[in-house]
Amino acid sequence: MKMKRRDFLKGAAGSLALLTLDGKVVDARSVEALPPHALGILYDSTLCVGCNACMAACKEANQMVPEASNGQKLWDNPRDLSAQTLNIIKKYSSGSGIHKDQDQDGYAFIKRQCLHCVDPSCVTACPVSALTKDKETGIVGYNRDACIGCRYCQVACPYNIPKFEWDDPYPEIVKCQLCSHLVAKGGISACCSVCPTGASLFGPVAELLEETRRRLQMKPGRQYDFPVSSIDSGKSHRFKAPRYIRQVYGREELGGTQVMYMSAVPFERFGLPSFPKESFVSMASGIQYAIYKGMVYPLVVLAGLVFMVKKNKNSEEADENTPPTDQGAHHE
């Protein structure tokens, strides 16, 4: 009997040892693939003029109230994404800040919103599947009827996107859902439909990726056509091609995102961290999977534990049934 228990403990110790393999995750979950009809946005910082029309349209389409900051109360002026702001245009500025899309003495715009990750941390984190990734469009949607408000999505999101209604007694998580209510009716997201320059361009991710390749091949300074609103709208503007950074942000970051950025200014300037190709999600759930293997291991361990408890408890009760001569002596 003693040997058996030792063997069992060895097994248990062995499965714990799996955890100590630092960096090498056993059975790491492979990065999820892009859904077949994935929809997204290509935001080209060089085309953005900072008119904020997308922010106003977003608030209208999603019934959000304007936010005032810096003392003025005339127009919507949020400082960052919040429970009332799903989409914001922010400005990077350096030195004298007069030259557009220039790193030094220049400025550039960036659109911050949910990037609709290919392998979203928030969806993996959510205990009750309130955040889901649509199988067809890949849109990361939110279901307030399921959400318990644990805010693990906020901890998990590498881009700090989901926001929480802190001042509401029964709060919700708030984030861009790519105007899925408009997409369902055959429309496109509000921010792209009002963008006057095509800086925010809606479309299937595959076609948007094709567009990024085309733009990266453009000769800086020469005139090209840039589609407006959505990639298949047929409308376009002619602009001089800028000197793009040779990277499309969101193409590979943490497994890729469906909202992608192009810019003439390095992405770190916008506070966008440089990320590895593998998502943090695959690390965490890889470990979780290795330990539990679909709850089979825990059940095996439980069976072993029940057996041992029963044996130990039976022998103890046998002790107690013999008339006690000296109380507590049998414990020694």
Range 275-294, binding other proteins (CB under 8 A):
275, 280-281, 283-285, 287-288, 291-292, 294
Distance between CA atoms of residues 259 and 51, nearest Å: 20
Task: Judge whether 212 and 260 are in contact, CB under 8 Å.
Answer: yes
Instruction: Kindly tell me which of 164 and 239 has the beta carbon lying closer to other proteins.
Output: 164
Residues 14-43 within binding reach of other proteins (CB under 8 A):
16, 19-23, 25
Stretch that binds other proteins, among 38-46, 59-67, 261-269, 323-331 (CB under 8 A): 323-331
Instruction: Kindly tell me which of 239 and 289 has the beta carbon lying closer to other proteins.
Output: 289
Instruction: Kindly tell me which of 167 and 222 has the beta carbon lying closer to other proteins.
Output: 167
Residues 176-235 within binding reach of other proteins (CB under 8 A):
none
Three-state DSSP at 198 gives coil
Instruction: Kindly tell me which of 223 and 314 has the beta carbon lying closer to other proteins.
Output: 314
Q: How far is the CB of 245 from other proteins (least distance, A)?
A: 21
Distance between CA atoms of residues 261 and 275, nearest Å: 14
Other CB atoms within 10 Å distance of the CB of residue 18: 13
Helical H runs in the chain?
2-20, 53-61, 121-125, 152-156, 180-183, 190-194, 205-216, 280-292, 296-321
In 3D space, the residue among 108, 79, 82 whose CA is nearest the CA of residue 93 turns out to be: 108
Q: Using the rule CB under 8 A, which residue among 91, 219, 243, 313 binds other proteins? A: 313
Q: Using the rule CB under 8 A, which residue among 154, 180, 197, 236 binds other proteins? A: 154
Q: How far is the CB of 23 from other proteins (least distance, A)?
A: 6
Instruction: Kindly tell me which of 131 and 199 has the beta carbon lying closer to other proteins.
Output: 131
Distance between CA atoms of residues 173 and 192, nearest Å: 23
Distance between CA atoms of residues 108 and 99, nearest Å: 9
Q: List the strands of the sheet with 99-100, edge to edge.
A: 88-93, 106-112, 99-100
Q: Using the rule CB under 8 A, which residue among 160, 220, 225, 232 binds other proteins? A: 160
Strand pairing category for 99-100 and 106-112: parallel
Instruction: Kindly tell me which of 206 and 305 has the beta carbon lying closer to other proteins.
Output: 305
The reply on whether position 85 binds other proteins by CB under 8 A is no
Q: Using the rule CB under 8 A, which residue among 68, 155, 206, 318 binds other proteins? A: 155
Task: Judge whether 220 and 242 are in contact, CB under 8 Å.
Answer: yes
